[in-house]
Structure 1
Amino acid sequence: MTKIREIISAVESWVPVRQQEQWDNSGWQVAGCDPDDECSGLLTCVDVTPAVVAEAADRGCNLILSHHPLIFKGLKRLTGATQVEKSVMAAMRSGIAVYASHTALDVAPAVGLSHEMGRRLGLRDMKVLAPRESGLLKLVTFVPHDYADSVAEAVHAAGAGCIGRYDRCSYRVAGTGTFRALEGSNPFVGETGSDHAEPETRIEIILPAHRKNAVEAAIRSSHPYEEPAFDFYRLENENPALGLGITGTLPEPTDVTEFVNLVKKAYNAPAVRCSGWSGTVRRVALCTGSGGEFITLARSMGADAYITSDVRYHDFVDHGQSLLIVDTGHFESEACCKEVFSRIISEKFPNFAVYSSRVEKNPVTFM
Structure 2
Amino acid sequence: MKIKEVISLLEKLAPLSYSEGFDNTGLLVGDANATITGVLVTLDTLENVVDEAIEKNCNLIVSFHPIIFSGLKKITGKTYVERVVQKAIKNDIAIFSNHTALDNSWNGVNAMICEKLGIINRKILIPQNSSIKKLITFVPSKDAENVRNALFEAGGGNIGNYENCSFNIKGNGSFKGNEAANPVIGKKGEIHFEEETQIGITFAKHLQNNILKALFEAHPYEEVAYEVTTLENPNQNLGMGMVGELENAMNETEFLQFLKTTMATECVRHSALLQKQIKRVAVLGGSGSFAIEAAKNAGADVFISADFKYHDFFKAENTLLLADIGHYESEQFTKDLIHSFLKKKMTNFAVLLSQINTNPISYL
Q: Identify the TM-score tier after normalising by the shorter chain.
A: over 0.9
- Write the deviation string for residues 175-232 of structure 1: whole angstroms up to 9, x where unpaired: 1222223445443333344322222211111223222111111111222223221100
Say which SS state the counterpart of residue 202 (structure 2) adopts: strand
Q: How far does the alpha carbon of each residue in 1:242-292 deviate from its partner, in whole angstroms, 9 at most, with x for none?
A: 211111122222222343344334433233222232311111111111011
2:215 aligned partner: 219
Structure-2 residue corresponding to 1:59:
56
Give yes or no for contact 2:37–2:349 (8 Å, CA) kept in 1: no
Counterpart residue type for residue 213 of structure 2: A
State whether residues 113 and 288 of structure 1, in contact with CA within 8 Å, keep that contact through their aligned partners in structure 2: yes
1:79 corresponding residue in structure 2: 76
Q: Is the 8 A contact 1:45 1:360 kept in 2?
A: no
Are 1:43 and 2:24 matched, yes or no? Answer: no
- 2:284 maps to 1:287: yes
Q: 2-side partners of 1:60 and 1:178: how far apart?
A: 62
Q: Is the 8 A contact 2:43 2:358 kept in 1?
A: no
Deviations 1:47-90 (A, max 9, x none): 11101100011000000111111111222222211110110111
How far apart in 2 are the matches of 1:186 and 1:49? 59
Q: Does 1:253 align with 2:252?
A: no
1:315 aligns with 2:322: no
Verify the 8 A CA contact 2:292 2:315 in the aligned structure 1.
no
Q: Counterpart of 1:29?
A: 28
Q: Which amino acid in the other structure matches residue 219 of structure 1?
A: L
Alignment match, 1:341: 338
Provide the secondary structure at the position in 2 that maps to 1:342: helix
Q: 99-108 or 114-123: which moved more?
A: 114-123
Alignment equivalent of 2:177, drawn from 169, 178, 181 = 181
Find out whether 1:147 has 2:143 as its counterpart.
yes
Q: Is 1:297 matched up with 2:294?
A: yes
Give yes or no for contact 1:283–1:302 (8 Å, CA) kept in 2. Answer: yes
Match of 1:18 in 2: 17
SS of equivalent residue, structure 2 residue 228: strand
> Which consecutive residues of structure 2, in runs of 5 or more, have no partner in the other structure?
none
The amino acid across from 1:174 in the alignment is: K
Cross-structure match for 1:113: 109
CA distance in 1 between partners of 2:49 and 2:95 (Å): 11
Please tell me whether residue 270 in structure 1 is matched to residue 266 in structure 2.
yes
Correspondence 1:88 to 2:119: no
Pairs within 5 Å for 1:160-175:
160-175=156-171
Q: How many residues get paired? A: 363
Distance apart, 1:308 and its partner CA: 0.5
- Cα separation, 1, equivalents of 2:356 and 2:302: 33
Q: What secondary structure is seen at the aligned counterpart in 2 of 1:361?
A: coil
Instruction: Give the corresponding residue for 2:327.
Output: 330
Structure 2: how far apart are the matches of 1:310 and 1:271? 12
2:266 counterpart SS class: coil
Aligned counterparts of 1:64 and 1:13: Cα–Cα separation in 2: 18
Q: What is the DSSP-based 3-state SS (H/G/I as helix, E as strand, rest coil) of the residue aligned with 1:204?
A: strand
Letter in 2 for 1:23: F
Where structure 1 has 5 or more consecutive residues not aligned to the other structure, the ranges are none
Contact 1:117 1:266 in 2 (8 A): no
Looking at structure 2, the residues matched to 125 and 226 of structure 1 have their Cα atoms a distance apart, in angstroms, of 48
Tell me, in whole angstroms, the C-alpha distance in 1 between the residues paired with 2:52 and 2:245: 40
CA distance in 1, matches of 2:217, 2:254: 55
How many Å apart are 1:173 and its aligned residue? 1.2
Closer, same or farther in 2 for the Cα pair 1:181/1:262, shift >3 Å?
farther
Contact 2:37 2:350 in 1 (8 A): no
Q: Which sits farther off after the overlay, 119-128 or 84-93?
A: 119-128
Q: State the TM-score, normalized to the length of structure 2.
A: 0.93
- CA distance in 1: counterparts of 2:54 and 2:357, whole angstroms: 14
Structure 1 residue 20: deviation in Å? 1.2
Q: Is the 8 A contact 1:107 1:242 kept in 2?
A: yes
